[in-house]
Amino acid sequence: MNAIQIYGGNCLEGQIKIQGSKNAALPILAAALLINGICEIENCPDISDVYHMIRLMESLCCTIDRNGHTLKINARQLASHIMPSDSVGVMRSSITLLGALLARTGNVSMQYPGGCVIGQRPIDLHLQGLRRMGVVIEEREDGFGAYAEKLVGTVHKLPFVSVGATENLILAAVLAQGETVIENAAREPEIYVLCDFLNQAGARIKGAGTSRLVIEGVKALHEVSYRIPADRIVAGTYLSACLCSGGEVFLQEAPCTQMGAVIMAASAMGAEAYESREGLHVICRKRRKMPPKLWTDSYPGFPTDLQSAFLTAMTLAEGTGMLEETIFENRFRIVPELQKMGAKITYRKNMVMVEGVTCLHGSLLKAEELRGGAALVLAGAAAEGATTVLNRHFIERGYEDICKDLRMLGIKCEKTNWEERND
Ligand code: EPZ
């Protein structure tokens, strides 16, 4: 079974460069389908979610040339409208292709993207919004067909913030007839970046980064080159690693302006954080303190994707603390794994109470999803002794090479294969 072996107990020392943003890259790859020509995407992270998105797009007759972190995408020959179920099943973000494909072909057939262990991950807001733009959706046993003679602009009032639904409706609106308004739109930096990419390709989107987007449909988009910004969640993961293990790190290219809530929470735990255009300098010399009550929220609140990493840091902090998850219904899956290491956590529904301990013990742990898996690696780095985290493939969905990054910061950490011994 693929795994990661970590030998804990060292402080972090050193610097690393933060990779391009997974959650900015995926919708921008989908947006490339709207361009009847070639677009060049730089600083695209080399992770399995991007690999699956590329395969999915190639199955739709896109040609994609990859040279390191740069992708050259040619969507001129966009033909097939049937998304292969193996890729859709593997990668939830395939749903973001729906709006773009409808805008280009008017006809999409796909299976429902799976939920995952953190939650059901429904797509009702996506489908309701598209229906309001003239899309006919025929639901079937395992999926659905979506058809639209033409997409017509309208006013969407989203009942709650959804990053994916906002992205899908933007992609359906840029070539639609007339004006589309999205109220209660997500304000995540990834939405701002998607709108910036589209505007550079000739779209007419106003209000990027605010909760009200106004999109005037245009006839066509033109070719464009774009650089994906650094990943705020990956940067926050290594900031959390410093909170867990202590030490001093420089996170080159960390997008500090997008990390306000995270940096504030780290400072409340006693970290010294120095922001600059070049990146984020973090120093943790004393034992961390428990933060005041922490809860996840849509941007600019504390990101749900760093909840597991901060929970791990809290298990080693002084005092007792509370952490509430308000976005996903099942995102405390790592609690039993941390308890195996000696963490003192009690939880009910979407709230955990943590009583800090002075050390965690290395253990055999099992990752069940991307961000929780990364948090277990941080726990291993901070623990005494050796830790094995199984199911490395979950972590490789979003981190180019977490072992290499942690080794560059002084942690002994390597990919391995783990065989269950029956002795
Ligand atoms: C995006 O997922 C991110 N993924 C997630 O990151 C992130 O955790 C999430 O936004 C919240 O910030 C990508 O960008 C690829 P939502 P998304 O729609 O779009 C419910 C990671 O680790 N909902 O904002 O799927 C939903 O169940 C991943 O990188 C509906 O009920 O999230 C959730 O409870 C994990 N109906 C809440 O809304 C819908 O139609 C927010 O989901 C859509 C969503």
- pLDDT per position as a tens digit, 47-92: 999 999 999 999 888 999 999 999 999 999 887 677 777 766 667 7
Q: Helices (DSSP H) in 223-303: which residue ranges?
A: 232-245, 260-268
Q: Whose CA is nearest to atom 26 of ligand 1?
A: 121
pLDDT value at residue 386: 97
* Strand-pair category, 38-42 with 351-355: unpaired
Mean pLDDT in residue range 328-357: 96
Residues whose beta carbon lies within 6 Å of some atom of ligand 1: 22-23, 26, 93, 119-126, 162-165, 190, 304-305, 327-328, 370-371, 398
d(CA 67, CA 70): 5
- The Cβ of residue 160 has, within 10 Å, a number of other Cβ atoms equal to 10
Asked if residues 154 and 213 have their Cβ atoms less than 8 Å apart, the reply is no
Q: Which helix (H) or strand (E) holds 322?
A: strand 320-324
pLDDT value at residue 94: 86
pLDDT value at residue 365: 98
Task: Provide long-range contacts, Cβ within 8 A and 24+ apart, for 46-52.
Answer: 46/19, 46/400, 47/19, 47/22, 47/396, 47/397, 47/398, 47/399, 47/400, 48/393, 48/396, 48/397, 49/22, 49/91, 49/93, 49/397, 49/398, 50/22, 50/25, 50/26, 52/87, 52/90, 52/91, 52/94
Among the residue ranges 80-89, 91-100, 150-159, the one predicted with the least confidence is: 80-89
Confidence of residue 111 (pLDDT cuts 50, 70, 90): confident
Q: Which residues contact 85 (CB under 8 A, 6 or more apart)?
A: 110, 111, 142, 143
Average pLDDT, the chain: 95
Q: Which residues contact 50 (CB under 8 A, 6 or more apart)?
A: 22, 25, 26, 29, 44
Confidence of residue 289 (pLDDT cuts 50, 70, 90): very high
Q: Which atom of ligand 1 is nearest to the CA of 299?
A: 12
- Give yes or no for residue 178 having a pLDDT over 70: yes
Q: Which atom of ligand 1 is nearest to the CA of 126?
A: 40
- Tell me which residue of 60, 146, 150, 149 sits closest to 111, measured CA to CA: 146
- Give yes or no for residue 422 having a pLDDT over 70: no
Start-to-end CA span in the chain (Å): 17
d(CA 284, CA 305): 22
Q: Whose CA is nearest to atom 4 of ligand 1?
A: 23
Q: Which residues contact 182 (CB under 8 A, 6 or more apart)?
A: 156, 158, 166, 169, 170, 173, 212, 213, 215
